[in-house]
Structure 1
Amino acid sequence: MIDLLAWPEFKSPVRLWVLVILPVLVLAYLVLMRLRGRVSLRFTNTGVLGAVMGSQRRWTRHLAVAMSLCSLVALGLAWAQPLGTEKVPRQRATVVMVVDTSLSMQAKDVEPDRLTAAKQGAKTFIEGLPDSYNVALVALNGQPSIKMPPSTDRGALERALMGLELEDGTAIGDSLTLALKAVEQAPVGKDEEPAPALIVMLSDGANTVGEGPDAAARTAKQAKIPVFTIAYGTQNGYVDIDGTRENVAPDVATMKEVAKTTGGRSVTADTADSLVDAYKEIGSSVGYEEIRKPITAQYAFGALGFAIVAALGAVMMAARWPR
């Protein structure tokens, strides 16, 4: 539903000059009201005045005028061809899944363990994407790699996803850079134009090697590719490496900054169920795009509604109701 009180963008904003007439009409109404008051003072016999002028309620008169002005405002806005935003399903898209496979993903704070739950969550997310989407898979670790180039082959993608194994290191920046390269491998459509691209990154730790995430995020922003991030795991998660227990809390701040820089969305997940919910939340954005469309009819309908109320007010003023 369009909010008629909101100020939209207009296809023909130059036509808004017509609204300049409204202050003139308001001023004219106030002048006429003042003159009417002076004329009323000439009649000393108020009974005769009431018989001649009829019984008119002041609020009815003001309501009719106010609604008439509102109708003119709505018509003026409609004439300028307002534009609204509507979310529609994407017909084509390239989605690059970046899944953390660093050693911290063996933590069991998410049952049965982080990596197993991440695979299942990503699998469910991919199954919910339209078949026409090209989906790629990048493994996020110390030496990230493209496990599956953009493809509509869901079977091959699932096998690549389930085959992910733990590796040492967490190179968030390098993984994001590699995801951008994966986007370039996506096939073009019949119009020879590349499909809109998005990156979905799941990570449970902080960047430990390679390029910083900030630089890679700026590159993604320049390419107009939003990155949706999931900060995965609990703050108390830990792993035992070489006999030493290490805390592996997710770097929520970095994930949020990457998403903010690129125009994506950042969510958190600390259980298997919340991970599924996080993917669903991201899917609501990935699967749709916002398009601009004319909403002139809504404003014209609003103008009609105001005009009807104004007409009713005029009828109430003109009619003489039995006493």
Structure 2
Amino acid sequence: MIPEFENPERLWTLLLLPVLVIVYLVLLRLKGRVALRFTNTGVLNRVVGAQRRWTRHLAVAMSLASLVALGLAYANPLGTERQPRERATVVLVVDTSLSMSAEDVEPSRLEAAKAAAGTFVENLPDSFNVAVVALSGRPSIVVPPTTDRGVTQRAIAALELADGTAIGDSIDAALRAVDQAPPGEDDEEPAPAMVVLLSDGASTEGAAPDQAVSRAKGRDIPVFTIAYGTQNGFVDIDGQRENVAPDTATLERIAVETGGRSVDADDAESLATAYRQIGSVVGYEDVKKPITAQYAFAALGFAIVAALGAVMMAARWPR
């Protein structure tokens, strides 16, 4: 991975390294010519002592490595550090279609989903604004973004079954919810927003998800998806038994295209795990920070090794 630098224009100092290497090679060549003048190898041995060729090369190599590290440190390298977000807007989209009455997840898909969603919201930082959208044939914003966890929890607990599944329209509803988030303080950028969408079936109504996904991507709002339920889940509607397996392919595509993450959950335990995984991403962000000290420390280490090599060449060790 190529490191990033706060002052990349300072990397020009590294151009001096090839010059030093060339100078070193030239000096070696000149020294070799001088050595040829001594025909008595005993005399030559007394002149140059018992120093070893590898010691000299090691000292030079470590000196050059130290200079490289110093040159990189001079350009102020940047590293990535994960730290908790101070604020964000999270829109929780929960499927309330009739398929959520399936009991392949005890006590039912909807009840288990409500419990897991409540735990997820409770574990988010208090400073986060949380909105709730009910995913059905006619999606609605149940609660606009708020930091009042009591209001959010009551809204989740009150979710009820409804007809239809309109995933695309639900994403659009989530984007409208983001627009309702309270403004930040003066000169403060809008809080980053993200959508967490749980669905147990394929989209059956409304616009295709593709356009809504494009709008979310254009606004840099990632959609994290949870494909919920088992492949053998079923419900009885109008006297007919229908399979209600989750559309994992569509949900995965939504997550990938918007920069989110897709997770599968087929029981209450895996659903809780899915929310924890998403929470570990939603609650943190990658921040660029200077790591100049690390490069300076490396340069010091190389310099110490080079100095030891120089001492070994200069000292006359007893035989």
1:217 Cα shift? 1.1
Task: Report the AA paired with residue 20 of structure 1.
Answer: L
Q: In the alignment, what sits opposite 1:116?
A: 111
Q: In the alignment, what sits opposite 1:150?
A: 145
The whole-number CA distance in structure 1 between the counterparts of 2:214 and 2:45 is 75
Alignment of 1:259-274 (within 5 A): 259-274=255-270
Task: Report the AA paired with residue 206 of structure 1.
Answer: A
The whole-number CA distance in structure 2 between the counterparts of 1:68 and 1:7 is 23
Q: Secondary structure at the match of 2:79?
A: strand
The whole-number CA distance in structure 2 between the counterparts of 1:17 and 1:231 is 51
1:109 Cα shift? 2.1
Q: In the alignment, what sits opposite 1:3?
A: none
The whole-number CA distance in structure 2 between the counterparts of 1:193 and 1:34 is 62
Asked if the contact 1:82/1:296 (under 8 Å) is kept, the reply is: yes
The whole-number CA distance in structure 2 between the counterparts of 1:303 and 1:69 is 10
Task: Report the AA paired with residue 32 of structure 2.
Answer: G
Query: Which one of 13, 17, 34 corresponds to residue 18 of structure 1?
Result: 13
TM-score normalized by structure 1? 0.94
Alignment of 1:1-323 (within 5 A): 6-191=1-186, 193-323=189-319
1:193 Cα shift? 4.1
Query: Percent identical across equivalent pairs?
Result: 72
The whole-number CA distance in structure 1 between the counterparts of 2:313 and 2:249 is 64
Unaligned runs of 5+ in 2: none
The whole-number CA distance in structure 1 between the counterparts of 2:272 and 2:309 is 56
Task: Report the AA paired with residue 67 of structure 2.
Answer: L
Unaligned runs of 5+ in 1: 1-5
Task: Report the AA paired with residue 133 of structure 2.
Answer: V
The whole-number CA distance in structure 2 between the counterparts of 1:61 and 1:275 is 62
Q: Give the paired residue count.
A: 318
Task: Report the AA paired with residue 116 of structure 2.
Answer: G
The whole-number CA distance in structure 1 between the counterparts of 2:79 and 2:166 is 41
Q: Secondary structure at the match of 1:249?
A: coil
1:31 Cα shift? 2.1
Farther-moved stretch of structure 1 (29-38 vs 194-203)? 29-38
Residue deviations 1:228-279 (CA, integer Å, cap 9, x gap): 1111122222222222222222111111111122111111111211111111
The whole-number CA distance in structure 1 between the counterparts of 2:234 and 2:60 is 70
The whole-number CA distance in structure 1 between the counterparts of 2:55 and 2:239 is 84
Task: Report the AA paired with residue 124 of structure 1.
Answer: T
The CA RMSD measured in Å over matched residues stands at: 1.4
Q: Secondary structure at the match of 2:68?
A: helix
Q: Secondary structure at the match of 2:260?
A: coil
Task: Report the AA paired with residue 239 of structure 1.
Answer: V
Q: Secondary structure at the match of 1:63?
A: helix
1:314 Cα shift? 1.3
Task: Report the AA paired with residue 283 of structure 2.
Answer: G
Task: Report the AA paired with residue 9 of structure 2.
Answer: V
The whole-number CA distance in structure 2 between the counterparts of 1:48 and 1:107 is 96
Task: Report the AA paired with residue 313 of structure 2.
Answer: M
The whole-number CA distance in structure 1 between the counterparts of 2:207 and 2:60 is 65
Task: Report the AA paired with residue 231 of structure 2.
Answer: Q
Q: Runs of 4 or more off by more than 4 Å in structure 1? A: none
Task: Report the AA paired with residue 180 of structure 2.
Answer: Q
TM-score normalized by structure 2? 0.95
Q: Secondary structure at the match of 1:149?
A: strand
Farther-moved stretch of structure 1 (18-27 vs 122-131)? 18-27
1:46 to 1:220, Cα distance in 2 relative to 1, 3 A: same
Asked if the contact 1:187/1:194 (under 8 Å) is kept, the reply is: no
Farther-moved stretch of structure 1 (176-185 vs 51-60)? 51-60
